[in-house]
Amino acid sequence: MKKILSLGLALLMVLAMAGAAMAEGKIGVAMPTQSLQRWNQDGANMKAQLEAAGYEVELTYSDNDVARQVNDIENMLTAGCEVLVIASIDGSSLGTVLETAKAMDVPVIAYDRLITDTDAVDYYATFDNYMVGVIQGTYIVDALGLADGAGPFNLEIVGGSPDDTNAGYFLAGAMDQLTPYIENGQLVVPSGQTTLAEVGTMSWKTETAQARFENIITAYYSTGATLDAVLCSNDSTAMGVINALTAAGFEEFPIITGQDCDKPNMQYIVSGIQSMSVFKDTRTLAEKVVGMVDALMKGAEPEINDTKTYDNGVKVVPSYLCVPVFANAENYKELLIDSGYYVEVNGEFITPDEV
Ligand code: GAL
């Protein structure tokens, strides 16, 4: 009898401990689209890590359709989600639905892209977006030897999506490195297009970047001018530029920058067609955001490391900035393969779950 009692007690204690360790509650995770590789990884990482911490997850992708994302977020609120994690499509279009979240006391974390023009966003977790641009711009400065006075060289610029606040930070970080050389004539931009309004690529679409770049090639590079470098904000736009150059018969490729270490771009980096990318380890970002969610669910303060950079027009959103890392053919093995982010099979890059 005594034995049975103590067994029962032990069982109760185990159950109580498990209860204390496993969190409970439903979390909404809204991602913008499945058409770009990274968001699939972000969504999968978030879901897996939140579930491992004991939460239930409502994960949506909204096909880059703003109205659909608003609708997805409304459904999350109706379904009883207690924290919302949102990678917005258009950072300025969520004000109304987020007012509802605020009225329901549901905290909102902006994931990777800032949500603007509302006070109903509580935290922001991202990579240091300005630093991404600095890494790209510095690469071009070094690769062309601009600090040693080399030049003049021809440069063109392909920016990100104008409705994504990150696009402005990427461009600013890069242009702060390049503008002095444009001003002193070591860099020339034959198209004259340098502002986000001129170089932007709506929805970061490869086809849109490609179409614009085909026009640039025809207008400025079809009579013998050399194209030395293309500042591309990310890998999907770099892919558009590579497609346009290939279609125009280029055999020697200019310096081409990128961001995200997308699988097909990594192949181009290894084969020397694209020069570099910027690695943003989506596992790290997910880990940080899961930590924030967990803190909020437990009534604690989430960890932040920046309280001044991200002014969303209404407030400065307390942020956690992860560190972006330069990636090229020399260091990708250590960065991407040894860390288990990708597996390289016969020259192709795949994620471990695809093996
Ligand atoms: C940005 C993001 C970049 C890139 C781009 C395209 O917001 O910071 O890493 O992935 O979107 O989706």
Residues 321-342 have pLDDT tens digits of 999 999 999 999 999 999 999 9
What integer pLDDT is reported at residue 15 of this predicted model?
A: 46
pLDDT confidence tier of residue 228, bands split at 50, 70 and 90: very high
Distance from Cα 136 to the centre of ligand 1, integer Å? 14
- Quick check: 17 pLDDT over 90? no
Nearest-atom number in ligand 1 for the CA of 33 is: 12
Distance from Cα 224 to the centre of ligand 1, integer Å? 34
Distance from Cα 1 to the centre of ligand 1, integer Å? 64
Distance from Cα 113 to the centre of ligand 1, integer Å? 8
- CA distance to 131, 184, 228, 230, per residue, from 144 (Å): 20, 15, 8, 12
Nearest-atom number in ligand 1 for the CA of 259 is: 9
**Residues near 321 by Cβ (< 8 Å), separated by ≥ 6?**
126, 127, 128, 305, 306, 309
CB 234 less than 6 A from any atom of ligand 1: yes
What integer pLDDT is reported at residue 19 of this predicted model?
A: 45
Rounded Cα–Cα distance for residues 124 and 292 (Å): 10
| Closest to 163 in 3D by CA, of 231, 87, 100, 257 | 87
Distance from Cα 71 to the centre of ligand 1, integer Å? 22
Nearest-atom number in ligand 1 for the CA of 260 is: 9
Mean pLDDT of the chain: 94
Neighbours of 300 (CB within 10 A): 11
- CA distance to 46, 138, 172, per residue, from 331 (Å): 27, 17, 26
Nearest-atom number in ligand 1 for the CA of 39 is: 12
Residue pLDDT, tens place only, 214-226:
999 999 999 989 9
Segment 98-116 shows an average pLDDT of: 98
| Collapsed DSSP state (helix, strand, coil) of residue 244 | helix
CB 38 less than 6 A from any atom of ligand 1: yes
Q: Both tokens of residue 72?
A: 């997805």
The protein residue with its alpha carbon nearest to ligand 1, atom 4, reads 234
pLDDT confidence tier of residue 203, bands split at 50, 70 and 90: very high
- Quick check: 8 pLDDT over 60? no
Distance from Cα 231 to the centre of ligand 1, integer Å? 15
**Residues near 224 by Cβ (< 8 Å), separated by ≥ 6?**
none
